[in-house]
Structure 1
Amino acid sequence: MTSWKLSLPCTRAEAEAIDASDDIAEGMVLMTTELHEDDREHWRLDAYLEAEPDAATIAAILALVPSAAGAAPEIEALPEEDWVTLSQQGLEPIAEGRFVVHTSAHPVDLPAGGRAFLIEAGQAFGTGHHATTSGCLAMLDALPGPFARIIDIGTGTGLLAFAARYLWPEAAVIATDIDPRAIVVTAENATLNAIEGVELIVADGALDDRITDRAPYDLLIANILAGPLVSMAPEIAAIAAPGATIVLAGLLETQRGDVVAAFAGCGCALDAVDRRGDWSILRLTAGAVRYVPTAPIDPKGRDGWALDL
């Protein structure tokens, strides 16, 4: 059966919105690709289709990526190929500690004493295939625990919250994201993976009353981006219990100093770094006394932040 692929340039912001949403038509899979590490402006959208795209389909796909206005879509036939498999090629299962993350195109056997998570390839942020997410899985797997209150800020697909739930089943676990579509995806993934007991909250950072009312947390996870981590350091530190463990990711090694300095200013100390290529995953410990911001935090005054990588 002949399948088709339509490609367009896009930005990271557009890619995040696409990957957190449902496919726009039956018989279509949308995939986005980072062309250059930590480059917000140069991404690519690939739409895999069962039939040659007509004018209406092309217009619907173009509507997803306004930055591509005026660009001619690249359309190619993919003869005698399984278009679903094509959309997921290269996304073989990822193993980190006790965890295996896979797509339905690559089923796996349950690891002995471990846990497999099914996260589909179309959900590119938080599938485990990015170094930051896989590094967070490894870091969580190595933590001694136990933890009583856990929060995953910018949860994306929910993967890290699910891992925490598996490791510490008695803990109260909250997963938050600024994008309501990401929370829908997380809820779907929780059902797909038989995950129960993770509270889902749509929230801008960590200032929402539903988050602060449940503070303090003794394990905090934030796999977002360096800029938002720096600007959000006071609000993250403010909901951390004294001596809490904080796992941060989504930052390049060249950005590590800025992130560490921002959290040090809030009483948090760096304990460990897992460097994976250009990316770094950080483990910090909150101060012995719970941090109180020196000034009110205005969410409008800090950078916007992105979905889980």
Structure 2
Amino acid sequence: MSAESPIESWKLTLPCTRAEAEAIDAADDLAIDAVIMTTETVEDEVETWRLDAYSEREPDAAMIAALQALVPSAAGTTPQIEALVAQDWITLSQAGLEPLSEGRFVVHTSAHPIAPPDGGRAFLIDAGQAFGTGHHATTSGCLALLDRLADQNFANVIDIGTGTGLLAFAAAHLWPDARVMATDIDPAAIRVTAENAGLNKIAGIDLVVADGTLDDRVTASAPYDLLIANILAGPLVSMAPEIAAIATPEATIILAGLLDSQREAVVAAFAACGCTFEAMDRRGDWTILHLTAGATRYVPEGPFDPKGRDGWALDL
């Protein structure tokens, strides 16, 4: 490379399947020093997807191994590694993220600005450290369900595992008089949510770093009449009692981050806490659940065990 063309970032590419891509997009923290994007290369063909990882440093053996572990279907495939010269690698990583529309909402990145539909709302959510650009089926499905609930009235909303803050922002738009709290176990996600709130001119959301509902600020503001938890099936099962415990009687509960094969286990865990299954939205292999809390407020039988968070990796 010449002095006029310094290497500023690197791109690693591997083939993957749709199931692998969705699992990557849904993961809370991959612990890989790269921005990872997955793209459908042939429409509606589940085996023809692509993983692109953008990094400020050249991929070493450890990074390559970690990325290859995410896509077992590519075993034996040599990754394509490309040096990117004098380019904005964050913008490159977002280049494939076309605007997404769900009901009255449009979600876009800086690379693809778009005006909202009449009476709608556009959110600028760039890809980065936190999950929830809206493009994954779990997030877009929650967004669609919130849009369908617009005619209902909610006064106290909590978004557990907020990621980028997108679902909390949608709730704040739909119910401007409601109190909205957004929590995440990852401090980086709360920082990203705060930044996104500023970019989207959204004020008044309470941001809390919390392990599930295990924080005094979360319980002090309970009960909530709309609860959103877009995380993973394992934590949803282990957290069912504590989520039910902070819900008002007959509260609306939206759950996502689970595969359809995990749906029965999640529904059963919440049914044991008095919650009733209302409806679901299946998107590919993923399912978004709409539940209603019991007619009386749920009282847990004993203290919560935070060790249940080990369920992040639970294969239900």
| Structure-1 residue corresponding to 2:258 | 251
Deviation at 1:90, TM superposition (A): 2.3
Q: Given residue 291 of structure 1, which amino acid in structure 2 is its aligned partner?
A: Y
Say yes or no: does 1:128 pair with 2:134.
yes
Please tell me whether the aligned partners of residues 10 and 59 of structure 2 are also in contact (alpha carbons under 8 angstroms): no
Say yes or no: does 1:195 pair with 2:213.
no
Deviation at 1:122, TM superposition (A): 2.8
| Structure-2 residue corresponding to 1:137 | 143
CA-to-partner distance for each residue in 1:122-170, whole Å, 9 max, x for gaps? 3561000000100000000111321000000000000000000000000
| Structure-1 residue corresponding to 2:234 | 227
Gaps of 5+ in 1: 36-42
| Structure-2 residue corresponding to 1:30 | 35
Q: Given residue 196 of structure 2, which amino acid in structure 1 is its aligned partner?
A: N
| Structure-2 residue corresponding to 1:90 | 96
Identity %: 65
Q: SS where residue 235 of structure 1 aligns?
A: helix
| Structure-1 residue corresponding to 2:11 | 6
Deviation at 1:213, TM superposition (A): 1.0
User: Out of 154, 175, 181, which is 1:168 matched to?
Assistant: 175
How many Å separate the matches in 2 of 1:83 and 1:173?
34
Q: SS where residue 110 of structure 2 aligns?
A: coil
Gaps of 5+ in 2: 15-22, 41-49, 70-77
Q: SS where residue 128 of structure 1 aligns?
A: coil
How many Å separate the matches in 1 of 2:251 and 2:110?
36
Deviation at 1:208, TM superposition (A): 1.1
CA-to-partner distance for each residue in 1:24-53, whole Å, 9 max, x for gaps? 8xxxx8234499xxxxxxx9661256xxx5
How many Å separate the matches in 1 of 2:68 and 2:53?
15
| Structure-2 residue corresponding to 1:292 | 299
CA-to-partner distance for each residue in 1:58-108, whole Å, 9 max, x for gaps? 56x959x6998xxx9853146898755532232100000110000010010
Change (3 A) 1:82 1:186: closer
Written as runs of structure 1 = structure 2, the 5 A alignment for 1:262-281 is 262-281=269-288
Q: SS where residue 295 of structure 1 aligns?
A: coil
CA-to-partner distance for each residue in 1:154-194, whole Å, 9 max, x for gaps? 00000000000000000000000000110000000000100
Deviation at 1:7, TM superposition (A): 2.3
Please tell me whether the aligned partners of residues 31 and 124 of structure 1 are also in contact (alpha carbons under 8 angstroms): no
Please tell me whether the aligned partners of residues 35 and 90 of structure 2 are also in contact (alpha carbons under 8 angstroms): no
Change (3 A) 1:224 1:118: same
| Structure-2 residue corresponding to 1:39 | none
Q: Given residue 226 of structure 2, which amino acid in structure 1 is its aligned partner?
A: L
| Structure-1 residue corresponding to 2:72 | none
Q: SS where residue 303 of structure 1 aligns?
A: helix
User: Out of 233, 237, 257, which is 2:244 matched to?
Assistant: 237
Q: Given residue 131 of structure 1, which amino acid in structure 2 is its aligned partner?
A: A
Please tell me whether the aligned partners of residues 281 and 288 of structure 2 are also in contact (alpha carbons under 8 angstroms): yes
Please tell me whether the aligned partners of residues 6 and 73 of structure 1 are also in contact (alpha carbons under 8 angstroms): no
- Equivalent pairs counted in the alignment come to 284
User: Out of 162, 166, 170, which is 1:155 matched to?
Assistant: 162
Change (3 A) 1:66 1:77: closer
- Give the CA RMSD over aligned residues: 3.5
Please tell me whether the aligned partners of residues 157 and 178 of structure 2 are also in contact (alpha carbons under 8 angstroms): yes
TM-score when normalising by structure 2: 0.79
Change (3 A) 1:178 1:82: closer
Deviation at 1:3, TM superposition (A): 7.2
TM-score when normalising by structure 1: 0.80
